[in-house]
Amino acid sequence: MAASPSELTEQRLDPESIAAVDASDLLADVAGLPEHVRDAKWKVESAQLTPWDSPGGMIVAGMGGSGIGGLLARAMLGDHASRPILAARTYGLPAWTTPDVTVLCASYSGNTEETLACYEAAGALGARRVVVTSGGRLAELARADGVPVIPVAGGFQPRAAVAYMTVAALEVAGLCGAGPRMGSELDVAADHLEQLVVEWGAEGAEDSQSKTLARALCDSVPVIVGSGVTQPIAYRWKTQLNENAKIPAFAHELPEMDHNEIVGWQNASSLARFAAVFFDDADTHPRVQERIALTRELISEQATGTFVVASRGVTAVERVLSLVLLGDLVSLYVAVLRGVDPTPVDVIEELKGRLD
Ligand code: F6R
């Protein structure tokens, strides 16, 4: 019989209880985020790239846990991005792509067919290519074509290599002239993340923000709402809740949500248990902050809970990574509360296999 909501939320989230469910120790990779940020910088350096000029900006081609790095890097650059930084998440590049765009092909496994198609498309166009991968077909092709490869260590779930993908995108943006270099911001952010791992990690208090939120979300369908800088983080939370906790979760953004989805909430509780999480950040527009308060008020009767989560840190790099870490931990804790091993994503593997 399924556990009742109160049974779920009463469970402890200490290292032993987590280890009992987290069979492959995904927690170690999530808590390793600060170290991954530092190591990722070295990995980019090891590719020995010298700066070049791409007046058309940068496209990050990649899917899922690999593609999100481009969106997070763009959020970190914010107003400091001087050229377009866009994502390609399908079989090919946007029609307007020209040879003066850098195409960063990001695939942890190196075998994702959509990313391989973008790699070929960028080559056919004569666009400058850079690859970030742990191996696979993408590494083979890049080596044969003389395309630089930023290496990523093997042995992770692709979504756990988020720091590697994000740092690679940020550094390549700097190298091709789409934004400033952010090396020292990354060092500061890694130190800041270390403190947050202590506060929010398994050894942290049972009433830490991460564990409290996991208990609040574990028996509902979470809807995560970002805005501006936090928009891709809302998507990251959604996908981590999907893949780690194996539950449906959705992401939306303000102010857009107030022009459509807010109406749908009028009947939410008659369909399912929905909870809403809103992100607040130093860069959130003041009118969006007012909208968060009002939207919460207007949907609260239909929700199992509504929550506002503030980013932590000073620079955009720190703030973005703080919320990425929190979402990764929350999704892992929700998995543990639900008794679900957070690591395997069998249905993704099955689908990829059936397409072969
Ligand atoms: C699995 C995961 C997926 C993959 C995606 C693309 O942990 O997060 O979203 O990232 O299926 O695969 P890669 O990253 O190998 O190109």
* Distance in Å, CA 62 to ligand 1 centroid: 9
Q: What is the pLDDT of residues 280-305, one digit of tens each?
A: 999 999 999 999 999 999 999 999 99
State if residue 151 touches ligand 1 by the CB under 6 angstroms criterion.
Answer: no
Atom of ligand 1 nearest to the CA of 109: 15
> Residue 4: its pLDDT value, please?
67
Instruction: Write out the two tokens for 31.
Output: 């808590």
> Residue 356: its pLDDT value, please?
86
Atom of ligand 1 nearest to the CA of 64: 9
Side chain identity at residue 219, one-letter code = D
d(CA 347, CA 68): 20
Is the pLDDT at 133 greater than 70? The verdict is: yes
> Residue 1: its pLDDT value, please?
47
Give mean pLDDT, residues 178-190. Answer: 97
d(CA 154, CA 161): 9
* Distance in Å, CA 261 to ligand 1 centroid: 29
Q: What is the pLDDT of residues 230-256, one digit of tens each?
A: 999 999 999 999 999 999 999 999 999
> What is the residue-wise DSSP string for 225-282?
EE-GGGHHHHHHHHHHHHHTT----EEEETTGGGGTHHHHGGGHHHH--EEEEEEE-T
Place of tokens 């790095």: 69
State if residue 201 touches ligand 1 by the CB under 6 angstroms criterion.
Answer: no
Give mean pLDDT, residues 68-73. Answer: 98
277 strand-pairing partners: 224, 307
> Residue 42: its pLDDT value, please?
97
Instruction: Write out the two tokens for 251.
Output: 């992401």
How big is the chain, counted in residues?
A: 356
* Distance in Å, CA 132 to ligand 1 centroid: 13
- The confidence band for 9, taking pLDDT boundaries of 50, 70 and 90, is confident
Atom of ligand 1 nearest to the CA of 112: 16
Give mean pLDDT, residues 213-225. Answer: 98
Residues tagged active-site:
243, 259, 352
Q: How far is CA 121 from the centre of its chain?
A: 25
Side chain identity at residue 118, one-letter code = C
Average pLDDT, the chain: 97
d(CA 97, CA 219): 44
State if residue 238 touches ligand 1 by the CB under 6 angstroms criterion.
Answer: no
Give, for 117, the enclosing helix (H) or strand (E).
helix 113-125
State if residue 307 touches ligand 1 by the CB under 6 angstroms criterion.
Answer: no
State if residue 159 touches ligand 1 by the CB under 6 angstroms criterion.
Answer: yes
Report yes or no: 137 and 111 within 8 Å, Cβ to Cβ. Answer: yes
- How many C-beta neighbours within 10 Å does residue 50 have? 5
Q: What is the pLDDT of residues 94-111, one digit of tens each?
A: 999 999 999 999 999 999
* Distance in Å, CA 240 to ligand 1 centroid: 11
pLDDT-above-70 percentage for the chain:
98
d(CA 168, CA 148): 12
Is the pLDDT at 27 greater than 70? The verdict is: yes
d(CA 173, CA 102): 9
Is the pLDDT at 210 greater than 80? The verdict is: yes
* Distance in Å, CA 66 to ligand 1 centroid: 6
Please tell me whether residue 353 adopts helix, strand or coil conformation. Answer: helix
104, 112, 131: which to mutate for ligand 1, most atoms within 8 A of CB? 112
> Residue 68: its pLDDT value, please?
98
Report yes or no: 150 and 43 within 8 Å, Cβ to Cβ. Answer: yes
- The confidence band for 8, taking pLDDT boundaries of 50, 70 and 90, is confident
> Residue 5: its pLDDT value, please?
63
State if residue 112 touches ligand 1 by the CB under 6 angstroms criterion.
Answer: yes
* Distance in Å, CA 138 to ligand 1 centroid: 14
Q: What is the pLDDT of residues 158-168, one digit of tens each?
A: 999 999 999 99
State if residue 158 touches ligand 1 by the CB under 6 angstroms criterion.
Answer: yes
> Residue 7: its pLDDT value, please?
77
Closest by Cα among 343, 344, 345, 346 to 18: 343
Please tell me whether residue 305 adopts helix, strand or coil conformation. Answer: strand
Instruction: Write out the two tokens for 21.
Output: 């469910």
